[in-house]
Chain A
Amino acid sequence: MNSHFKLTVTLLDHVIADLSRPHPFAAERAGFIGCKVSRNREGILILAHTYVPLQDDWYADDQRYGCFFNADAMRVAMQFALTNDASVFHIHMHEHRGRPWFSRIDLRESRKFVPDFWNVRPNLPHGTLVVSTDSAAGLCWYPSENKPTKISRITTVGFPMKFLERLT
């Protein structure tokens, strides 16, 4: 399944500004992006509209993880999905240039929590994104498919348009 994730330059700037803020104890910040979905000739379009940042007290102090959020964070994200009929993508940042990818812990944890969004919005794809300072990558869990697939394209819409990921 080809998937194309789009967000505006303004929204991405907002996300990066939030993720770049230092946290009292967590090494990384994370958030959730609410999206609408459409279909095109090549696959699906995932259209980001709202960023849901995590409050400082939603992070758990566990030094084994760069970022570990608690049940409050998941509750808010799931409520957002339910209320807004939204597809939800977790997002965090690796502060380097070039194409980022998920750590083994990222992959293990996202395999646990992303499918939980199907409990509230079973018909929508959900997933996770990682951004660097100039690129991005993502995984999408499509309904009825057990394994996630790489997001084929990630585009910021605005001036300038940026193609953060182009697998196709």
Chain B
Amino acid sequence: MNDRYSRQSFLGTNSEALFQSVRAGLVGLGGGGSHIAQQSAHIGIGRFALFDPDATEFPNLNRTVGATFEDAISKTPKVIVAERMIKGINPYAEVWPIQLEWQKDFESLRACDVVFGCLDGFSRRAQLEESCRRAMIPLIDIGMDVHKGEPYSISGQVVVSMPGKPCFKCLGFVRDKDLDEEGRRYGEAGGNPQVVWSNGVLASTAVGIFIQMLAPWCRINPGSAFLGYDGDRFTLEHDARCAVTVNQNCEHFVSVGDLGDPFWKP
């Protein structure tokens, strides 16, 4: 094992080669995705597909790891900021910076072994999950929100959608009424409020689950997971709603037609 990774040798003698061969897909390179890109590069993940159509602006600098004042002035694409950061840590990493919505490059998304969803909104999450299920890709979603409370309240989640296991709907994370209502109630404290410390907690947990998936260091099998973040009390706990469903099979993506390319031609 390379000296560089000696402090994580407990992940297995083959973990270095394993991590180098894995392609992580990051959908959204803002507050959450930038943390995940940085940590995945440090761990030694060797292949990345980065999806984000946006350029860096000043309001991103409160939380986007790796973005600089100069990036905000020159409006550097977020995927380029992330690529620069990854390559700075691991120059040998293969990075696909895709400055598009992920829906415009399905073929790159389907090449990923695991996808991190760092999107706002339930409908976008549901769409990404459907595409990941179709290509049998585990999806790890993170997100946070700030609600009006006393005076404000921070909450968030890390949710794992594992093919064959409970999906976002099974877990109660995405509900039909949420899809209907999200346009009205999302981001009550302003335009998609986000802060770096909450993003960091959620992203770090997502990366830990990812590594547990690839090179488990203990016998606990998280299966599908729904971890709720209480940003006021600084706690992250398994959501009680999924205690029963988490080890069951999915009730929604059950048809063979939910898999593969329905318009396949050789």
Please list the residues of chain A having a beta carbon within 8 angstroms of any beta carbon in chain B: 6-8, 10-11, 34-42, 45, 47, 49-50, 84, 86, 123-125, 142-144, 155, 157-161, 163, 166
What is the bound-complex CA distance between A157 and B135, given in angstroms? 11
Contact among B113, B215, B261 with A37 in the assembled complex (CB-CB below 8 Å): B261
Instruction: Please report the total number of B residues contacting A with Cβ < 8 Å.
Output: 36
Which B residues form the contact surface with A (CB < 8 A)?
18, 21-22, 96, 105, 107-111, 113-114, 134-138, 162-165, 212-216, 221-223, 256, 259-261, 264-266
In the complex the two chains form, is A123's CB within 8 Å of B265's CB? yes
Taking a contact as CB atoms under 8 Å apart, the answer to whether A38 and B111 are in contact is: no
B259 contacts A161, CB within 8 Å? no
Q: Measured between alpha carbons, how far is A111 from B31 in the docked complex, in Å?
A: 52
* Residue from B108, B222, B260 in contact with A41 in the complex, judged by beta carbons closer than 8 Å: B108
Residue of A nearest to B256 (CB): A49
- List B contacts of A39 (CB < 8 A): 107, 110, 261, 264
Is A49 a contact of B107 with CB atoms below 8 Å? no
Tell me the bound Cα distance from A88 to B260 in angstroms.
14
State whether B259 touches A40 (Cβ < 8 A): no
Chain A residues, CB < 8 A from B256: 34, 36, 49-50, 84, 86
Complex contacts, A158 vs chain B, CB 8 Å:
162-165
List, in ascending order, chain A residues with CB within 8 A of B107's CB.
39-41
> Can you identify 30 A-B contacts, CB atoms within 8 angstroms?
A6-B136, A8-B136, A10-B164, A11-B164, A36-B261, A36-B264, A37-B260, A39-B264, A40-B109, A41-B96, A41-B105, A41-B108, A42-B111, A45-B110, A45-B260, A47-B135, A47-B260, A49-B259, A123-B264, A123-B266, A124-B264, A124-B266, A125-B266, A157-B138, A158-B164, A158-B165, A159-B222, A160-B212, A161-B213, A163-B22
